[in-house]
Chains A and B, each alone.
Chain A
């Protein structure tokens, strides 16, 4: 029985790729039932890959705009094709920016409201557990995750934002994480808890199908005790659970991890 395979993409300038591989293979380890492998940006074939992570870093030096040039790299054609078929795709920080530029998520990133690079741990509230990356959390759970970005000020036009926020019994809404106060106070009401000025205090966002998620904070930097927080571990455990259930539903042998 083999673990599900997570492709972690390296673009020129990416600098969090090894951290993500480490978080999945060492920090989460066998518990997640995942095996992370590096994927080069020129790769056009993702066969054998069950999920993709676009890690943080400064792809193509952030020239032109963050993520704009990476969105055109050969691997993104393959990622977009598989994403449309339902493969889980997680973009972290610069990876989030790449997903926006590739049109896999709506909206755009502006410079932080403070015009400063922000690098610190912030509280975020779990708004949706209906994604492959958050199902191991509780709805409303407050996590402490590090952010490190200059352009994390999410923007969408009011109509798009309305569609993103719309939630009912059938569809839980597409905001996955929201910036909040230490006790979960809503940063839309208390803007002092919105570090970058993001519209709707959105820290993580899903596509309508829920399988593509962009997240500004770095879960891989909060996956081990010695890093100060293990609140990010749930992302990898969630993905492992989700993929194991899909395999079981398809009649395939489960990965090593599977349900906790």
Chain B
């Protein structure tokens, strides 16, 4: 078993008013960025799992997102592979 990090990007679903996003949109507009039509603010969750391979890691984290990490009523999510934590640390240098 290897360790994998899978990122879950949770976002408010389109059509659901996102008050923090709306506040940010209004502030951007006040700064002169009048082309901004919508801002949605979500969150990013890093899940480190043990799995046989990357696809199994992703499948398990997808189940986690569906059952707990996102609220399907008002949120949607996407997964992104984060590589192994060791490699992530190694590539963090400047």
List the interface of chain A (C-beta within 8 A of B).
Answer: 64-65, 68-69, 72, 100-101, 106-108, 110-115, 153, 155-157, 197
Query: Across the interface, which residues of B come within 8 angstroms of A69, CB to CB?
Result: 68
Alpha-carbon separation in the docked complex, A28 to B75 (Å): 41
Query: Across the interface, which residues of A come within 8 angstroms of B84, CB to CB?
Result: none
* Interface pair A115/B23, CB less than 8 Å apart: yes
- With A65-B71, A68-B68 given, is the CB distance from A155 to B16 under 8 Å? yes
Query: Across the interface, which residues of B come within 8 angstroms of A110, CB to CB?
Result: 16-19, 74
Known A-B contacts: A68-B71, A110-B18, A153-B19. Give 13 more (CB < 8 A): A64-B69, A69-B68, A101-B71, A106-B73, A108-B73, A110-B16, A113-B17, A113-B19, A114-B19, A115-B19, A155-B17, A197-B17, A197-B19
Query: Across the interface, which residues of B come within 8 angstroms of A112, CB to CB?
Result: 19
Q: Which of A153, A157, A197 has the most CB of B within 10 A?
A: A157
* Interface pair A155/B73, CB less than 8 Å apart: yes
Number of interface residues of B (CB under 8 A): 11
Q: From residue 39 to 92 of chain B, which have CB atoms closer than 8 A to chain A?
A: 68-69, 71, 73-74
For residue A72, which residue of chain B has the nearest CB?
B68
Write the nearest CB–CB distance from B58 to chain A, whole angstroms. 20
Query: Across the interface, which residues of A come within 8 angstroms of B18, CB to CB?
Result: 110
Q: Tell which of B19, B20, B68, B71 touches A108, judged by Cβ atoms closer than 8 Å.
A: B71
For residue A69, which residue of chain B has the nearest CB?
B68
* Interface pair A115/B74, CB less than 8 Å apart: no
Alpha-carbon separation in the docked complex, A225 to B61 (Å): 52
Query: Across the interface, which residues of A come within 8 angstroms of B69, CB to CB?
Result: 64
Write the nearest CB–CB distance from B43 to chain A, whole angstroms. 9
Alpha-carbon separation in the docked complex, A115 to B73 (Å): 20
Alpha-carbon separation in the docked complex, A68 to B20 (Å): 20
* Interface pair B68/A115, CB less than 8 Å apart: no
Complex interface bits, B7-33 against A, C-beta within 8 A gives 1, otherwise 0: 000000000111110010000000000
Query: Across the interface, which residues of B come within 8 angstroms of A106, CB to CB?
Result: 73
Alpha-carbon separation in the docked complex, A155 to B15 (Å): 11
Alpha-carbon separation in the docked complex, A69 to B16 (Å): 23
Alpha-carbon separation in the docked complex, A194 to B49 (Å): 44
* Interface pair B73/A107, CB less than 8 Å apart: yes
Alpha-carbon separation in the docked complex, A167 to B55 (Å): 49
Alpha-carbon separation in the docked complex, A6 to B20 (Å): 38
* Interface pair B74/A155, CB less than 8 Å apart: yes
Write the nearest CB–CB distance from A226 to chain B, whole angstroms. 35
Alpha-carbon separation in the docked complex, A162 to B68 (Å): 27
Alpha-carbon separation in the docked complex, A69 to B71 (Å): 12
A-B complex: 8 closest residue pairs judged by Cβ atoms: A108-B73, A108-B74, A111-B19, A115-B19, A108-B71, A113-B19, A115-B23, A155-B74
Write the nearest CB–CB distance from B22 to chain A, whole angstroms. 9
Alpha-carbon separation in the docked complex, A111 to B23 (Å): 12
Query: Across the interface, which residues of A come within 8 angstroms of B16, CB to CB?
Result: 110, 155
Write the nearest CB–CB distance from A59 to chain B, whole angstroms. 14
Alpha-carbon separation in the docked complex, A197 to B23 (Å): 14
Alpha-carbon separation in the docked complex, A115 to B68 (Å): 24
Alpha-carbon separation in the docked complex, A100 to B68 (Å): 13
Write the nearest CB–CB distance from B14 to chain A, whole angstroms. 12
